[in-house]
Every structure is written in structure tokens, then in C-alpha cells.
Amino acid sequence: MLNRRQLRIKILQSLYAFYTQDDGEVARAENELFFSIDKDYELYLSLLQLIVEMQDQAIERIEAGKNKKLPSPEDLNPNTKFVTNSLLRMLSHSKVLKKACESRSVNWQDNPDIVKKIFRSLTLSEDYIEYMASKERGFEHDKEYLIRFFKRHIINEELLHDHFEEKSIFWNDDLDIIASMVIKTMKIADDDADDITLLPLVEDAVAFAKFREHNVKIYKLELLPFWKADEDEVEFVKTLFRTTISKGEENAVLIDEYTKNWELDRIASMDIILMKMALAEALAFPSIPLKVTLNEYIELSKYYSTPKSNSFINGVLDQLFSRLKEDGVIKKTGRGLVE
């Protein structure tokens, strides 16, 4: 499941697009935000399906060897250990995965060269050679190696990263956490189970009703796979996004007061958005400690803004938070938050 930092990144990306586009339509920007989050589910399915494609490639190689005019003894008696990998077979025969991929039209049919190159690279790895030579068998053994193949080889292929970047400009930012979900999916797979468990497919009718109430397009989605059933994450995204925009001008004035030595139009636009987001979060979420909010946006600035942004943002927000607390504008509630 997407964690709060990933959700903040998604909101930051959408806000940056919102502030740099001419139309400035909040509803449209919000639609695109939720759509981009949901698209991560396609990335999750794509990675699982890519693992299945490795089996198909192995089968094709075996068949090609047998159909040679002069097949070698190895061609006629191929090593089928990878093809019969227990977890790989479970994934390839998974009705749950098949249905989910079909519902989203997720497949690798249009990218056979990428699949072939990744498989070829995998077969040349020491891990693959070691696995194929091992006499050990069993579900746990197969699972351990399939996870190793994915972690060390498949997910690290540069051409795969290039492919995902072309599909979505945000996917490379999300690749680590979605890959961790794929790994978890394989780790929790049980030899006694009838099928794999996709993470976490929550059919959230309540969240859907909320979305429709606020006129947010759902793009005909039947599932919201990353949302918790208690709607906490839905509310977090929606509230933070909307509050940052609605309080934008007001918070820009506050930021301007504490950056007297800087002209606001000369400060990196990403820094301004980050500080507006931090102020919105501090004001809108009384249960989130100020230290957590401050640290989160300092960390985000390290990856999404200039090299000096983290210390600059730290200094400005620290002063702003102190003042707003003294003025009673920021009020924190909950255990350990009331001073």
C-alpha cells in the first residue's frame, strides 16, 4: 500500500502541474491526482505479469531447442527447473491475477523485445545458473530464488525503467514501493493456497460514494486497491491537496514575511509549493505532529528541489510553525501532541 510519503509525493507532483498549467482547474487537477495514484495499481500488475512472462520465454526457448534441425542432447532433454518453479506456476495459473490484468488491459504483448531481453539477461546471471544447477526442490526453495531473480535482476533492468518512464512520468518515482509490494505478494504466497493474494484489493464502496459526492471522476474503476477501508488515506490526499490550494495565497503571504531577504518570485517554485503544503498539513491535520510534518517536507525537498532547499525550508518553516503555534492558529490534539 502507498504510504504517506508516497501520497505526499503524488500530491506535490499534481500541485506542481496545477501551478504551472494555464487553466488552473482544481477539479481537473484533483481528478488527475487520484487517477495517477490509481495508475500505480497497473504498475503493480505489470510487474507481476512480467514475472509470468519469464516463464513463457523459458517455454519458448525449450520448444525452439526441440525444433532445431539438429537438436543437441541438451535440447532434447532440457532443464525445466525454472519453467516448473512452484511459485512461478502459481502466478502463471492465477485466476485472480489474470482477471485483474484483463480488467485493466495489462499485458506485455506490445513489448516482446523488452521481455526477451530481460529474460536473456536473467539467464546469464549467476543466480539463475546456480538455481538451475541446484538439485534442491520445494516451494520455499523456488520462492526464495524467484524473489531473488526479481530483486536483483528483473527490477533493476535499465530498459525496464526506460519503458515505465515512457508509460508514466511518475512511475519511476513509485517503482521502489510498488516493487516491494510485488515482493511481499510473493513472500506471502502459500503452497497450500488455491491462488495468490493481490495486495490489497479493497472494494471500498464508502470511498467511492465520497468521490462521487465531490464530483471526482473515477474513470470507471471497480476497485480502489491502495485505499484503506476507513478512508483515512482518501481524506488525507483530498484534504491536503485542497487545503494547499485554498490557503495558497494566504500562506504565500506568510512565507513572504519570513523570506524578506528573498524576492518570492526568485525562490524556487518547488520550494514555495513544499512550504505551502507543509503549512496546509500543519493547519488541517491536528493529529499529525509538527516535527513529522517538518521532517517530511525537508526530506522531499532533498529529492525534488535544489541542493540548498532543505536548510532553507527548514529555517522558514521552523519560524512559521513557532509563530502559528504561539498565535493559536496551529492546534495539535491527541496523545503526546498537546504541550
The C-alpha cell that represents 216 in the structure block? 471526482
| Span of 16-20, 27-31, 122-126, 214-218 with lowest mean pLDDT | 214-218
Contact 280, 15 (CB under 8 A): no
- 286 — phi, psi (to 5°)? -65, -20
Query: Whole-model pTM?
Result: 0.77
- Mean local confidence (pLDDT), 116-130: 97
Is pLDDT at 215 greater than 50 in this prediction?
Answer: no
Percent of the residues in the chain that have a pLDDT greater than 70, as a whole number: 86
pLDDT-derived band at 36 (thresholds 50, 70, 90) equals confident
Q: Which domains does the chain have, with CATH numbers?
A: 4-187 (no CATH), 247-326 (1.10.940.10)
Q: What is the pLDDT of residue 334?
A: 63
pLDDT-derived band at 200 (thresholds 50, 70, 90) equals low
Q: CA-to-CA distance for 91 and 221, rounded, in angstroms?
A: 24
Q: CA-to-CA distance for 314 and 278, rounded, in angstroms?
A: 11
Q: Tell me the per-residue pLDDT of 235-285, one tens digit each, with 9 for 90 and over.
A: 899 999 999 999 999 999 999 888 877 665 667 889 999 999 999 999 999
- 293 — phi, psi (to 5°)? -60, -50
Q: Which of 38, 339, 305, 47 is nearest to 178 (CA)?
A: 47
- How far from 104 is each of 38, 39, 99, 213, CA to CA, in Å? 11, 10, 9, 25
Q: CA-to-CA distance for 61 and 78, rounded, in angstroms?
A: 10
Cα angle, residue 112 at apex, residues 109 and 113 outer, rounded to 5°: 155
pLDDT-derived band at 46 (thresholds 50, 70, 90) equals very high
Higher pLDDT, 216 or 271: 271
Which range, 22-31, 109-118, 327-336, has the best average confidence (pLDDT)?
Answer: 109-118
| Span of 52-56, 60-64, 94-98, 304-308 with lowest mean pLDDT | 304-308
Alpha helices (runs of H) in the chain, residue ranges in sequence order: 4-20, 26-66, 73-76, 86-92, 95-104, 112-123, 126-133, 139-152, 158-167, 171-187, 205-213, 232-246, 248-257, 269-284, 290-304, 309-326
A 10 A CB-CB count for 85 gives 24
Q: Tell me the three state secondary structure of residue 29.
A: helix
Q: What is the pLDDT of residue 316?
A: 93
Q: CA-to-CA distance for 314 and 301, rounded, in angstroms?
A: 10
Q: What is the pLDDT of residue 265?
A: 60
The C-alpha cell that represents 306 in the structure block? 535544489
Q: CA-to-CA distance for 169 and 183, rounded, in angstroms?
A: 23
Q: Tell me the per-residue pLDDT of 280-325, one tens digit each, with 9 for 90 and over.
A: 999 999 999 999 999 999 999 998 988 888 899 999 999 999 999 9
> Residue written as cell 479493497?
202
